[in-house]
Amino acid sequence: MTVSVTRLKLRSPRFLLPFIVYALRSARQAKRSSGSVATEVTRDRHGAFWTRSVWTDQASMRGFMMAGVHRTAMPKLLDWCDEASLVHWEQDHATLPEWDTAHRRLVSEGRPSKVRHPSPAHESLEFPPPDRR
């Protein structure tokens, strides 16, 4: 199984509405995609949006990433986000990782995605775990 974790932080509230529209459509696309095992999205108290998903294999995950509404949304994130990062790993089971595990792996093994207006935390991957209270 392939696990994918992403974290996105918008640089301005003016991008929130279009971001939410694309995020909801992308989540629906992920759940319906071939090879999708589980997908979950959350927004934390710090204003960051997190996804965690499990796929049967890396090819299925990449097929989702490069198709449909997700592919259309990705270029927009270059301008909308000041922080964006991702991590992928392989595991033997189909269970979504806990959010603390997702954070730990993202910080220790992840990489920043390209954004045009990076915050200081963007390259360093120094950000708090998702606080969902």
What is the residue-level pLDDT of the chain in tens, covering all 133 positions? Answer: 999 999 999 999 999 999 999 999 999 999 999 999 999 999 998 889 999 999 999 999 999 999 999 999 999 999 999 999 999 999 999 999 999 999 999 999 999 999 999 998 898 998 888 876 6
Which domains are assigned to the chain?
Answer: 2-124 (3.30.70.100)
CB 89 within 8 Å of CB 118: no
Maximal C-alpha separation, the chain: 41
Exposure of 100 by Cβ count < 10 A (0-12 exposed, 13-18 middle, 19+ buried)? exposed
Please tell me what DSSP assigns to residue 46. T
Crossing angle for the helix pair 58-65 and 68-80, to the nearest 10 degrees? 70
Specify the 3-state DSSP secondary structure of 48. Answer: strand
CB 27 within 8 Å of CB 54: no
